[in-house]
Amino acid sequence: MQVDGRSMVRRAAVALVAAGAFAVAAAQGASGADPRIVGGSPTTIDEFPATVIFNVNGAQHCAGTLVAPNKVLTAAHCTDGVQASQMEIIGGQTKFSDTSGEKAGVSDVWQNPGFDMTGMQHDNSVLTLDKELPYAPATLVQSAGDAAYQAGADVTVVGWGTTSEGGDVSDTLLKVNVPVVDNDSCATAYSTGGNSYDKASMFCAGVPEGGKDSCQGDSGGPAYVDGKLAGIVSWGQGCARKDFPGVYTNVGNDYADISSHIG
């Protein structure tokens, strides 16, 4: 999915994540916001213990959320075309470069069969780990009609992604708070460019002036409302752009399918 030549999914770009190379952007992003996740602030894994690193072939790829001791929920666009043997999950790390976290391999991948890279609907996958991780799993929102998806609800997005559009990844876990945007406004914002915003399987969060958003490398990571996992970082036009809120997988809409693979 492309708009203006830029990838709309929020996976890490290979060029940004060479092993051991981390730098917080010193320049401001395209939105003029402080160069953080974007426009956020540092946090710790103790505050969000279910947040995990999702590496592919040893390099930063996406993030995910522990939803059972041996299950991780992530974005389907993070697993599409990737073999389980290439995946590694790391929990318990505030800093990406740290080595104290618990590592696990992936033994099985369930990718939502309703997903495809063209439409981006149902952007969720469940990874089965080859061991249990000793961190508190997240609780999932269970219905698309939940108050978590009402316009104005406060969403907290967490990740190690780029700190500005086209910028550098963050070595430290970051968080940003953005309000849910009503579905009609979201559909209007993304009514051009060849994409297809789906009011059922997606929701948007952001501020009209831009400057606060998830970005590349945050894909698959958590979007919490009132402490529950409401969304998965999915896609958007650039990062933190004016009038283009971030788009997230609606976990409540796909809860039945997701929960059947968590067990």
* Entry pTM: 0.88
pLDDT at 17 over 60: no
pLDDT of residue 31: 30
Examine the domain organization and report whether 40 and 150 are in the same domain.
yes
Examine the domain organization and report whether 60 and 181 are in the same domain.
no
Examine the domain organization and report whether 38 and 57 are in the same domain.
no
In angstroms, the Cα distances linking 202 to 121, 159, 161, 188, 249 are 7, 19, 21, 14, 5
Domain of 57, CATH number, reads 2.40.10.10
Based on the structure, what is the number of domains in the chain? 2
Examine the domain organization and report whether 87 and 216 are in the same domain.
no
Examine the domain organization and report whether 79 and 122 are in the same domain.
yes
pLDDT of residue 193: 57
Residue 77 falls in the annotated catalytic set? yes
pLDDT of residue 168: 82
122: containing domain: 51-137+255-260
pLDDT of residue 14: 38
Digit-coded pLDDT (tens) for 167-191: 888 999 999 999 999 999 999 999 8
Residue 219 falls in the annotated catalytic set? yes
Examine the domain organization and report whether 197 and 92 are in the same domain.
no
Digit-coded pLDDT (tens) for 103-119: 999 999 999 999 999 89
Q: With CA atoms as reference, report the closest residue to 96 among 9, 10, 13, 169.
A: 169
- State the average pLDDT for the chain: 86
In this structure, is the dihedral angle defined by the CA atoms of residues 52, 35, 223 and 76, taken in order, positive or negative?
Answer: negative
Digit-coded pLDDT (tens) for 45-101: 999 999 999 999 999 999 999 999 999 999 999 999 999 999 999 999 999 999 899
Examine the domain organization and report whether 126 and 153 are in the same domain.
no
pLDDT of residue 21: 31
Contact at 8 Å (CB) between 254 and 201? yes
Catalytically annotated residue among 123, 168, 218, 254: 123
pLDDT at 38 over 80: yes
Residue 261 falls in the annotated catalytic set? no
Digit-coded pLDDT (tens) for 230-245: 999 999 988 999 999 9
Catalytically annotated residue among 164, 170, 219, 234: 219
Examine the domain organization and report whether 34 and 146 are in the same domain.
yes
Examine the domain organization and report whether 218 and 154 are in the same domain.
yes
Examine the domain organization and report whether 190 and 60 are in the same domain.
no
Assign 263 a pLDDT band (cuts: 50, 70, 90).
Answer: confident
